[in-house]
Amino acid sequence: MEYNRSISDAFMNDLICGILSPLLGRVKEDHTLMLALRGSYINIYYRGGSILKITEDSTKKIEQQPSYEIGFDSEYHRASSSLPITFPTTVSSDEDVKQLVGVIPNLKYAMDRFFAKKNKSEREFQQLIVRENNLSPIANETEYFIVDIELAGVLPNARFDMLAVRWLSHERRTRSALVPVLIEVKYGNHALDGDAGLIKHLEDAYTLRENPQSWQNLLKGLHCHLAQLKLLDLLKFNSSSAVPELLLHPTATPELIFLLADYNPRSDKLLGILPKFDAALKSRDPQDSQEKLFDVRFFQASFAGYGMHHVSMLNPTAFATLAQKLYQTNGTTKEYEKRDLMPDQITFDDCCRIILEQGATRHERVGPETSNYRRDLLALLNTEFEIDWSDDHDFSQNEGLPAIAATMPGIYPRFVSPFSGWMEYTPVKGEEEIWHKHMDKLSAAGRDVEQCWVALFRDLLLLRWPAAAHRTTCWTRLRALGLVEPQCDLDDF
């Protein structure tokens, strides 16, 4: 089995300048439609469902006469039986294509009636993602292009929703800069667990990646597919003579992105899944491995919308923190504490990050409740992980870790938000373009440095207290030990 959904040269020619060009033109002018390559045929999607299947009739190649079979799902047709729909089942002339394009509004109406009774929100959401990142007015500003959708079954363990490439804004004039990306979309809370949940898709992606033949097969098909989308003008970006061909980076770590749409933040379901997800991830891709198989990320929208940017891709730790905060902000913590799942676990890595975060705020204007909360939190964490700063008399307080422990938290937040002190800065004419050109890369680099900073702090602590690596605690226990969260949000000051 191989992944090859590229269509023939004759099919391409008929779409670009031949008999099917009016149909391609209709797709380009109607952003509710999407064209997908499928090898011997193409699908045109509407609201996530196939409104037309157009199959190349190979028997006509001998006669040098283009001919295509047309299909419309009978299930959609039955949903609108009161609307008579007639269209050519075979296209071999300009008149046939004209008739086919003319009937598209009726086909749309039939599908609207079907979707009114049978909701297919996840598939419709996928098409919106493709449109915004590939062809919308802001497509050139995004950093991901969706190459294919619905890949289940094309390769063993290829159970993911989208195949994409990442192309950073500052690399648009760099050859071989594209990074392969697998994207899994989960719509609503019900899709997060079970046989098609987050953990299952994580396992399947790693199984695919660990098979060199299957992975190279996927990359080869991705390259060919991408080239044809460019020729069909179905990707909107500013072309450059410096990059005549879209090529994959030969050694870049591919991304595996989970996109959770319309998740209910008042639910504790995600909090119960993420610790198991993290354990599964570490078992397949250990943090100390020399070469990671995937850079696993969770997509967080840029305020709102579907445009995908690298700066909006959170690592699992940052995403878990966000999910926990959203849950607590909704005032549902008490109900959650009644559960026995212990998904609010704090590992030693979490402890190190929290120490750096909470200790880095002495220059902020905070109220007494917040100051007491931070002080108590740090004291409890030191106790829970048995980090006793006075237990080692072999080191001078002016040497080694004690000498930098006070300054590291002050440096750490500058990696998280390096421009937090520039709130009064307003770019003047000419500066704004430069600002946006560099900010995404700086922010992404800041997140990477943040992770390295936490790892450095962790390893320094483990040199003195190695047993701490095997200890854990949880937020529920800390509250039981007397930790009282401030009534106001920490971000309100």
* Residue-by-residue DSSP string for 281-304: HHHHS-TT-SS-S-EEEEE--SSS
Which of 146-150, 171-175, 284-288, 304-308 shows the lowest per-residue confidence on average (mean pLDDT)?
A: 284-288
**Residue 486 gets which letter from DSSP?**
-
Instruction: Give the number of C-alpha atoms closer than 13 A to the C-alpha of residue 368, restricted to the C-beta side.
Output: 0
| Model confidence at 45: pLDDT above 50 | yes
For residues 187 and 282, state if they share a domain.
yes
pLDDT category of residue 30 using cuts at 50, 70 and 90: very high
Q: Cα-atom radius of gyration of the chain, to the nearest Å?
A: 27
For residues 307 and 178, state if they share a domain.
yes
Instruction: Look at 77 and 314; give whichever has higher pLDDT.
Output: 314
Per the prediction, the chain carries an average pLDDT of: 81
Instruction: Look at 289 and 342; give whichever has higher pLDDT.
Output: 289
Long-range contacts of 64-71 (CB under 8 A, 24+ apart): 65/92, 66/10, 66/14, 66/18, 66/19, 66/20, 66/92, 67/91, 67/92, 68/14, 68/19, 68/20, 68/92, 70/100
**Residue 335 gets which letter from DSSP?**
H
pLDDT score at 296: 94
**Residue 40 gets which letter from DSSP?**
S
Helix (H, G, I), strand (E, B) or coil at 405: helix
pLDDT score at 422: 46
| Model confidence at 46: pLDDT above 70 | yes
For residues 169 and 260, state if they share a domain.
yes
Alpha-carbon distance values, 492 to 366, 367, 431 (Å):
9, 10, 30
Tally DSSP H helices, then E strands, for the chain: 17, 13
Beta bridge partners of 260: 186
pLDDT score at 222: 94
pTM for this predicted structure: 0.68
For residues 278 and 179, state if they share a domain.
yes
Asked if 199 contacts 211 with a C-beta cutoff of 8 angstroms, the reply is no
Instruction: Look at 18 and 452; give whichever has higher pLDDT.
Output: 18
Helix (H, G, I), strand (E, B) or coil at 78: helix
| Model confidence at 158: pLDDT above 80 | no
Q: Which domain holds residue 318?
A: 123-331
CA atoms of 251 and 231, how far apart (whole Å): 26
pLDDT category of residue 470 using cuts at 50, 70 and 90: confident
User: At which residue do the structure tokens 């007491």 appear?
Assistant: 372
Which residues fall within 8 angstroms of residue 157, CB to CB, at 6 or more apart? 204, 205, 207, 208, 211, 214
pLDDT in tens, 175-227: 888 999 999 999 888 889 888 899 999 999 999 999 999 999 999 999 999 99
Long-range contacts of 411-416 (CB under 8 A, 24+ apart): 411/453, 412/356, 412/357, 412/360, 412/450, 412/453, 413/357, 413/360, 413/361, 415/446, 415/447, 415/449, 415/450, 415/453, 416/446, 416/447, 416/450
Is 417 contained in some domain?
Answer: yes
For residues 384 and 245, state if they share a domain.
no
pLDDT above 90 coverage of the chain, percent? 34
For residues 324 and 396, state if they share a domain.
no
CA atoms of 317 and 350, how far apart (whole Å): 8
pLDDT score at 63: 60
Residue 112: in which H helix or E strand, if any? helix 104-117
Strands 179-187 and 255-261, bridge-based pairing? parallel
Q: Which of 76, 101, 119 is the last residue of a domain?
A: 119
For residues 191 and 258, state if they share a domain.
yes
Instruction: Look at 235 and 340; give whichever has higher pLDDT.
Output: 235
Residue 146: in which H helix or E strand, if any? strand 144-149
Asked if 420 contacts 442 with a C-beta cutoff of 8 angstroms, the reply is no
Going through 152-238 in order, the beta strands assigned E by DSSP cover: 162-166, 179-187
pLDDT category of residue 66 using cuts at 50, 70 and 90: confident
Q: Which of 119, 154, 182 is the last residue of a domain?
A: 119
For residues 377 and 470, state if they share a domain.
yes
| Model confidence at 334: pLDDT above 70 | no
326, with CB counted inside 10 A (0-12, 13-18, 19+), is middle
pLDDT in tens, 375-420: 888 888 888 898 887 645 454 455 666 666 666 766 666 655 555 4
For residues 217 and 104, state if they share a domain.
no
Angle at 47 between CA 45 and CA 50, to 5 degrees: 30
